[in-house]
């Protein structure tokens, strides 16, 4: 029963959504939106599970003074701080338990939650994102080391595309006569991006779509049950 | 001969009013074809002297109110969010302000919900063919027919990765993407997590699964727990190893990077939906010297994975992984169905190229969703 019930639910839900994709009339659109609503409700409850897991994990590590425990303590303090200021004064236009907190807004320039969000959370997030620039450089260096014909080709293409995206490209190849304008770097870049690149990406997308059809069919028919832990 | 001449003249006379009508200003209101019965399609073809227009709808008292006035001599407007089965009256006033003239056209339409969206006919045919092929090969697999499936090195290497982690006494890190459970990529990742967890249970290697979504965490816990039970090692299952980190994209990345640097996992698996963080994750993993396998359905992230990972699952390989690992003949049969789908797409692309060269636009139009 524990195994069959999810399979039956998956079969019915999958079939209804699949059929509803082709039949625009009621009751299919309503069923689909109801299923989405159910998913959102379950997600809402699951958030509590996530927070509980986060707290349990961090408290245990701090209690047991596991290696790097101060980091977990910092995580717990940040969690508690955001939760408390959010509950007390709310965020943006939403009031908290103590109302809009006009006094504190005057001194900080924003509600404490918004202040911390803008001045601590966003810079930290941006810092993580900015690491991408350095990682792209190191990954590109490895990818462009000329070892094989393919890596050579990749490097040449990448140089054309990178140069073609800068104003320097016009400076370098702007002198090429109009008759041979296709040889100008911006034109070459556009060609590479529009044709070979798009073709390759579409091939991957089509193959992924076929994979999705196969995987969905296996799940609907109950052949694929690994997500339930496997078994027959 | 005389009869033929008479017939010819009759046809010409019959066509004459049609020719006149073709040049006449026209306004039509009709139920939007193949929809859920909540829209009306309004079309017009105005006199070339017209310079502005006003499209109006009658309310329950019969009073007209303007709702659209963007001018074009030939055009159409779809009025949506209407009631199913309702009758709506419309009026189009075409102005020729230079001559101080105007013409009024009226039309009405009754909305009707359709039983089938004909614009999706091509999709239904393709889906039917691909699903039919998959079911046929599943049937063959069930009957015991040997099916050849090409090797996917990224999946063949799973044992190697787990073995290496076991030898080094280091954990395995599995990230099921950053998407929620509603994404098929996440389901595919969980399908791979199951056999991976089973093997890690057999080898006695620790498995870490940080999750961005609480729903994914719950599903992953169930998957791993069942897998450990299947492996006969329920005692080795540690719920706290499958944990929620953060819903924030870069907060999650910071958390996973921290785990990689502190715990130094010997094998990293990044399977599921990834976006801008893909390179940050895998480059950090590369720095720690872990053996890395990645797979995603996001084509923009694949180049990053190819550069930084030892093995990459491209396109449908991510969705085929679980079937491939299980070696279950039924599931392998479905993979053979994918190959049929690819062959079908290749044929359609070639036919499409030929028909477009020959100027037969109907083929492309049909597959673009113009079935109706």
Same domain, B35 and B106: yes
Residues B173-183: pLDDT tens digits? Answer: 999 999 998 89
Q: How far apart are CA A73 and CA B317, in angstroms?
A: 41
Name the A residues in 22-51 with CB < 8 Å from any B CB: 22-26, 29, 39, 42-43, 46-51
Residue B16's pLDDT is what? Answer: 47
Collapsing DSSP to helix, strand or coil, B314 comes out as strand
Residue A198's pLDDT is what? Answer: 94
Residue B149's pLDDT is what? Answer: 83
CA–CA–CA angle A46, A50, A55 (5° rounding): 145
Same domain, B169 and B87: no
Q: Return phi, psi of residue A3, to 5°.
A: -85, -40
Q: Which of B292, B240, B290 is nearest to B261 (CA)?
A: B290
Q: How far apart are CA A136 and CA B247, in angstroms?
A: 24
Query: Is B4 within the bounds of a domain?
Result: no
Same domain, B169 and B298: yes
Query: Is B284 within the bounds of a domain?
Result: yes
Collapsing DSSP to helix, strand or coil, B29 comes out as strand
Name the A residues in 137-156 with CB < 8 Å from any B CB: 138-140, 142-143
- Share the mean pLDDT of chain B: 89
Domain limit, last residue, from B75, B90, B110: B110
* Cβ pair B112, B85 in contact under 8 A: yes
Residue B21's pLDDT is what? Answer: 46
* Cβ pair A4, A209 in contact under 8 A: no
Among B214, B320, B323, whose Cβ lies nearest the Cβ of A47? B214
* Inter-chain residue contact B297 with A53, CB threshold 8 Å: no
Q: How far apart are CA B224 and CA A229, in angstroms?
A: 7
Q: How far apart are CA B131 and CA B10, in angstroms?
A: 53
Query: Is B315 within the bounds of a domain?
Result: no
Q: How many domains does chain B have?
A: 3
Same domain, B171 and B292: yes
Residue B10's pLDDT is what? Answer: 60
CA distance B117 to chain A (A): 6
Q: Return phi, psi of residue B137, to 5°.
A: -70, -30
Give B6's contacts (C-beta < 8 A, 6+ positions apart). none
Same domain, B147 and B251: no
Helices (H), A90-227: 102-108, 112-116, 122-144, 149-164, 168-173, 185-194, 196-220
CA distance A218 to chain B (A): 8
CA distance B291 to chain A (A): 16
* Inter-chain residue contact A226 with B322, CB threshold 8 Å: yes
Choose the weakest-confidence range: A125-129, B117-121, B145-149, B189-193: B145-149
Query: Is B12 within the bounds of a domain?
Result: no
Cβ neighbours around B348 below 10 Å, total: 14
Same domain, B248 and B191: yes
Query: Is B89 within the bounds of a domain?
Result: yes
Q: How far apart are CA B239 and CA B242, in angstroms?
A: 6
Query: Is B303 within the bounds of a domain?
Result: yes
Name the A residues in 174-213 with CB < 8 Å from any B CB: 201, 203-208, 210-213
Query: Is B342 within the bounds of a domain?
Result: yes
Collapsing DSSP to helix, strand or coil, A103 comes out as helix
The most distant pair of C-alpha atoms in chain A lies apart, rounded to whole Å, by 75
The residue range of the domain holding B145 is: 117-153+336-372
Same domain, B265 and B352: no
Residues B244-282: pLDDT tens digits? Answer: 999 999 999 999 999 999 999 999 999 999 999 999 999
Average pLDDT estimate for B125-140: 92
Chain A residues within 8 A of B338 when measuring between CB atoms: 207, 210-211, 214
Same domain, B103 and B196: no
Domain containing residue B298: CATH number: 3.40.50
Chain A residues within 8 A of B177 when measuring between CB atoms: none
Query: What string of DSSP letters covers B74-134?
Result: EEEEEE-SPPTT-EEEEEEEEEETTTTEEEEEEEEEE----SS-GGGHHHHHHHHHHHHHH
CA distance A176 to chain B (A): 32
Task: With a cut of 70, say whether residue B5 has pLDDT above it.
Answer: no
pLDDT band at B13 (very low <50, low <70, confident <90, very high): low
The CA–CA distances, whole Å, from A203 to A44, A149, B150, B227, B355 equal 37, 22, 18, 34, 20
Query: Is B146 within the bounds of a domain?
Result: yes
Q: How far apart are CA B121 and CA B369, in angstroms?
A: 7
Q: Which of B252, B263, B303 is nearest to B285 (CA)?
A: B263
Give B355's contacts (C-beta < 8 A, 6+ positions apart). B361, B362, B363, B364
What the block records as the tokens of B242 is 């499958």
Q: How far apart are CA B191 and CA B273, in angstroms?
A: 14
Q: Return phi, psi of residue A222, to 5°.
A: 80, 10
Tens of each residue's pLDDT in chain A, 232 residues: 667 888 898 899 999 999 999 998 888 889 989 999 998 898 888 888 899 999 999 999 999 999 889 999 999 999 999 999 999 999 998 999 999 889 999 999 999 999 999 999 999 999 999 999 999 999 988 888 878 888 888 899 999 999 999 999 989 999 999 999 999 999 999 999 999 999 999 999 999 999 999 999 988 988 887 777 655 5
* Cβ pair B211, B245 in contact under 8 A: yes
CA distance B52 to chain A (A): 35
Average pLDDT estimate for B343-357: 95
Share of chain B above pLDDT 90, in %: 68
What the block records as the tokens of A206 is 């089509």
Cβ neighbours around B302 below 10 Å, total: 22
Tell me the Ramachandran region of residue B32: left when phi exceeds 0, alpha when psi lies from -120 to 50, beta otherwise.
beta
Domain containing residue B32: CATH number: 2.60.40.10
A116-138 CB burial, b ≥16 within 10 A, e <16: bbeeebeeebeebeebbeebeee
Same domain, B142 and B215: no
Same domain, B71 and B211: no
* Cβ pair A189, A164 in contact under 8 A: yes
Same domain, B46 and B32: yes
CA–CA–CA angle B313, B317, B322 (5° rounding): 105
Q: How far apart are CA A75 and CA B355, in angstroms?
A: 61
What the block records as the tokens of B106 is 């009226």
Residue B9, H or E segment? helix B2-23
CB of A1 within 8 Å of a chain B CB? The answer is: no
Q: How far apart are CA A37 and CA B332, in angstroms?
A: 35
Query: What string of DSSP letters covers A130-166?
Result: HHHHHHHHHHHHHHHS--SHHHHHHHHHHHHHHHHTS
Could you say which DSSP state residue B239 is in?
G
* Cβ pair B31, B37 in contact under 8 A: yes
Residue B20's pLDDT is what? Answer: 46
**Mutation target among B120, B212, B226 for the A interface, most CBs of A within 10 A:** B226
Same domain, B177 and B287: yes
Give A201's contacts (C-beta < 8 A, 6+ positions apart). B299, B300
Q: How far apart are CA B193 and CA B322, in angstroms?
A: 9
């Amino acid at each position: 029963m524990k195994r069959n019930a999810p399979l039956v639910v998956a079969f019915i839900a999958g079939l209804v959504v699949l059929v509803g994709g082709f039949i625009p009339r009621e009751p299919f659109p309503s069923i689909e939106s109801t299923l989405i609503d159910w998913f959102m409700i379950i997600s809402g409850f699951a958030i509590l599970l996530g927070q509980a897991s986060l707290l349990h994990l961090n408290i245990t590590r701090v209690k047991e003074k596991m290696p790097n425990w101060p980091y977990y303590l910092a995580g717990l303090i940040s969690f508690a701080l955001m939760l408390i200021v959010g509950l007390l004064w709310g965020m943006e236009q939403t009031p908290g338990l103590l109302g809009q907190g006009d006094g504190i807004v005057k001194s900080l320039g924003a509600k404490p939650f918004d202040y911390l969000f803008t001045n601590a959370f966003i810079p930290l997030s941006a810092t993580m994102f900015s690491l991408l620039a350095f990682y792209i450089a190191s990954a590109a260096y490895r990818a462009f080391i000329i070892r094989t014909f393919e890596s050579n080709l990749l490097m040449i293409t990448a140089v054309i595309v990178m140069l073609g995206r800068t104003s320097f490209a016009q400076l370098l190849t702007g002198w090429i006569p109009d008759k041979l304008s296709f040889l100008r770097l911006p034109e070459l870049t556009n060609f590479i991006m529009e044709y070979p690149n798009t073709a390759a990406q579409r091939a991957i997308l089509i193959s992924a779509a076929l994979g999705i059809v196969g995987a969905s069919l296996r799940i609907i028919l109950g052949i694929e049950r690994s997500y339930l832990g496997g078994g027959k | 001969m005389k009869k033929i001449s008479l017939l010819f003249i009759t046809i010409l006379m019959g066509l004459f009013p049609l020719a006149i009508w073709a040049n006449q200003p026209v306004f039509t209101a009709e139920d939007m074809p193949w929809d859920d019965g909540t829209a009306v399609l309004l079309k017009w073809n105005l006199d070339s002297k017209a310079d502005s227009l006003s499209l109006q709808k009658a309310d329950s008292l019969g009073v007209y109110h303007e709702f659209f006035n963007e001018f074009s001599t030939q055009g159409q407007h779809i009025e949506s969010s209407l009631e199913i089965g309702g009758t709506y009256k419309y009026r189009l006033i075409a102005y020729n302000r230079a001559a101080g003239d105007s013409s009024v056209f009226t039309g009405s339409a009754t909305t009707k919900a359709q039983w089938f969206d004909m614009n999706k006919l091509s999709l239904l045919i393709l889906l039917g063919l691909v699903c039919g092929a998959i079911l046929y090969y599943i049937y063959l697999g069930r009957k015991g027919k040997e099916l050849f499936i090409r090797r996917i090195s990224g999946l063949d290497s799973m044992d190697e990765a787990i073995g290496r982690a076991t030898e080094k006494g280091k954990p395995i890190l599995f990230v099921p993407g950053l998407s929620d459970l509603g994404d098929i990529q996440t389901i595919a990742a969980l399908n791979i997590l199951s056999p991976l967890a089973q093997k890690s249970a057999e080898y006695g290697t620790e498995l870490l699964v940080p999750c961005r979504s609480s729903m994914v965490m719950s599903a992953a816990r169930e998957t791993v727990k069942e897998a450990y039970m299947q492996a006969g090692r329920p005692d080795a299952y540690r719920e706290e190893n499958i944990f929620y980190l953060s819903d924030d994209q870069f907060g999650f990345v910071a958390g996973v990077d921290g785990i990689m640097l502190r715990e130094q996992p010997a094998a990293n698996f990044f399977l599921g939906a990834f976006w801008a963080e893909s390179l940050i994750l895998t480059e950090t993993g590369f720095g720690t010297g872990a053996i890395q396998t990645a797979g995603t359905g996001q084509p923009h992230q694949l180049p990053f994975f190819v550069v930084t990972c030892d093995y990459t699952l491209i396109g449908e390989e991510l969705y085929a992984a679980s079937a491939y690992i299980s070696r279950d003949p039924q599931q392998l049969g479905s993979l053979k169905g994918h190959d049929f789908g690819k062959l079908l797409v290749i044929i359609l692309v070639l036919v499409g190229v030929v028909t477009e060269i020959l100027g037969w636009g109907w083929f492309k139009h049909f597959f673009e969703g113009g079935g109706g």
